[in-house]
Structure 1
Amino acid sequence: MIRVVVVDDEALVRSGFSLILSAAGDIDVVATATGGDALQTIRRERPDVVLLDIRMPDVDGLAVLNSLRSMPDAPVVAMLTTFDADEYIMTALRLGAAGFVLKDTEPEQLADYVRALAAGGVVLSPKASTTLMRGDRGLEPALDAEAARVRDLTAREKEVLRLVATGLSNGEVGARLFLGAGTVKDHVSSILAKLGVASRVQAALAAQRAGLLDGATGAGADAPGAL
């Protein structure tokens, strides 16, 4: 069972997500919490995945995420958002969030997102990632440099990055490319270093901005959570 904690200031969101996810046979929502109760609840329940509201009136989701970074065996965290503030999302990604999920995500997709997170994949809701990809004219030189770094990856690294960006775990990437999980992990480490990013989700965003996923085919590209 995948153990999940849902953190949101709205009771309706907490109960709705709990009901939807608990209907999946392999997911157990072990607790829900508000921002003020989040850290205590997460430390007590030791979930595999936390769905964390990015902005709450009592304790901000970014503060909770930052605190979780020092927790031994910290859970995988995806941010819940209505996506009306890009800068909050980018800060969350820099703090180690494994992705973001819109609160109006279709119910049938939520369980797939949680499974992807638990398996070590990244989750970037398509509508939200489209907003992130729009860019800003002032960022064009930086984005051009980023695209050049993506182009400079080896052919194998590009294959690995393309699959990582569709939400696959190292084991799943290895199965697709007939590589051991350790070899995939080494490739991912090399990709992060070459791109100058700190996480798989930041690498996935770089791949999207560089057009590496354009025309991607296969089950991974069609799976919920794929960019």
Structure 2
Amino acid sequence: MIRVVVVDDEALVRSGFEMILNAADDIQVVATAVGSEAVSAVRRERPDVVLLDIRMPDVDGLTVLAELQALPAAPVVAMLTTFDTDEYVMTALHSGAAGFLLKDTEPDQLAQLVRTLAAGGVVLSPRASRAVLRGRPTGPAPADAEEATRVGRLTDRERAVLTLVAEGLSNADIGARIHLSAGTVKDHVSAILTKLRVASRVQAALIAQRTGLLDPKNKAGDE
């Protein structure tokens, strides 16, 4: 059972997400909270995944994200936002969030996105992922020479794994795609993070985009 905490200042959003996710057989919303209650709720319930509003009037979502990451057993955190061009999204992703979801994500997609988060995948709301990865209207600068050099040090297999990480696949899904065990993929991901000098899959995904790995003509294994 995937345990989820939903943090949002709007009661309607909290109840809506709770109802949708609890309808899935393998997901349980164990708590909902406003920003000021978030850390205590997570400490108490020890969820696998936290869906965290990025803009709240009582406590800023980025502040809550930092506090959650400092916990001994930090959960996976995805940010909730109303706009796919939210100026804080890139900051959250670079600060360790595992992705972000638009609050109007289709109900039939929501449970699967939570499953992806719980499995270690990167989640960027499908409608908005291109805008965020391309840095529009605000976002990451183009890849610098150092990033390109780090990517150049990856093996062909590591570049293939990085491309699939950037597409949002979990370790198990990557393994199925390129015929490796999930454990082997995990080892490759660890090596990739070390070589790229980043702390999270999302940060690695952003480097993959900036250095052109997501361009169809550059994808490993493309015909």
Q: TM-score, normalised by structure 1?
A: 0.84
> Which residue pairs with 2:161 in the alignment?
160
The size of the alignment, in residue pairs, is 215
Please show how residues 1-227 of structure 1 align to structure 2 within 5 Å: 1-83=1-83, 86-135=86-135, 139-140=141-142, 142-143=143-144, 146-147=147-148, 149-215=150-216
Name the structure with the higher helix share.
1
Per-residue CA deviation, residues 118-160 of structure 1 (Å, 9 max, x unaligned), is 11111011333222233479934x4565355435422101111
Q: Tell me which amino acid in the other structure corresponds to 1:170.
A: N
Q: Distance in 2 between matches of 1:147 and 1:212?
A: 11
Deviation at 1:87, TM superposition (A): 4.2
Q: Distance in 1 between matches of 2:43 and 2:140?
A: 41
CA RMSD of aligned residues (A): 2.4
**Conserved? CA contact 1:94–1:198, under 8 Å:** no
Q: Distance in 1 between matches of 2:140 and 2:180?
A: 40
Per-residue CA deviation, residues 70-124 of structure 1 (Å, 9 max, x unaligned), is 2122111100012366542222123221111111111111101100011111101
**Conserved? CA contact 1:36–1:58, under 8 Å:** yes
**Conserved? CA contact 2:84–2:132, under 8 Å:** no
- Could you tell me which runs of 5 or more consecutive residues in structure 2 were left unpaired when the two chains were aligned: 218-223
When structure 1 is superposed on structure 2, of 9-18 and 78-87 the one drifting more is 78-87
SS at match of 1:30: strand
Report sequence identity in percent: 71
> Which residue pairs with 1:224 in the alignment?
none
Deviation at 1:210, TM superposition (A): 3.0
